[in-house]
Amino acid sequence: MIWDELGWDDEGQRQRLAEERLRQRAKAYAAPEVDPTPEAALLRVLSFRLGDERYGLDVQAVRGVRPLGQMARLFQAPPFYVGVINQRGQMMTAFDLRPFFGLPIDPQQSPPDEAVLVEGQGLRLALLAHRVEDVQPVLRADISAAALRYARGVTSDRLIVLDLEALLSDERLRLT
């Protein structure tokens, strides 16, 4: 029943889906750019969800995304440093934005199981995420400046665009 719906076993169905997808793609390519927003007006951000908030990061600062995978817990560390992970043979520190921002951790929620890898100011961190969403263009003009210390601002659809430079520059991250 479910197999019928999915059409996995149906060669013709799979063929039709593939053709449909190609057609859409061709249409997208062929379509004239209706609103050719100048590239300079756009900021490409990677959006992700953590707790009840959605955050956006400038893709230029992003080094990649990954499932959190196995993480070694850290003890006697600040609460935002939750552990270390092995990223292709190198140690990376897992960082939880919520305690850093003083936000509560809902015990009902499952622990974050994805990570966005960032680099800057001599630091390489794996930011915890409940779900990495998408790379999406954001109009720079849509980012309204908020009184947030580590954010460039908030978009109209409540995406908090983080200021990674400011974040990574924080003294608290520097451990002696």
Residue numbers of the site for another protein (CB under 8 A)?
Answer: 2, 5-6, 8, 21, 25, 28, 39, 44, 46, 59-60, 62, 64-67, 114, 132, 134-135
Report the residue number, 142 or 170, with the smaller CB distance to another protein: 142
> Among residues 86 and 149, whose Cβ is nearest to another protein?
86
The tokens of 152 are what? 């460039």
**Contacts of 84 by beta carbon, 8 Å cutoff, 6+ apart:** 71, 72, 74, 91, 92, 93, 94
Task: Find the shortest distance in angstroms from Cβ 25 to another protein.
Answer: 7
Provide the strand spans (E) within the chain. 42-50, 53-58, 62-67, 71-73, 81-87, 90-95, 114-120, 123-129, 131-139, 151-154, 159-162
Q: Tell me whether residue 46 or residue 92 sits nearer to another protein (CB atom).
A: 46
CB 161 within 8 A of CB 152: yes
Min dist. Cβ of residue 21 to another protein (A)? 7
Please say whether the dihedral angle defined by the alpha carbons of residues 99, 104, 106 and 109, taken in this order, is positive or negative.
Answer: negative
**Minimum CB separation from another protein for residue 19, in Å?**
14
Quickly tell me which residue has 């908020």 as its tokens: 146
For another protein, which is the closer residue by CB, 29 or 75? 29
Min dist. Cβ of residue 57 to another protein (A):
9
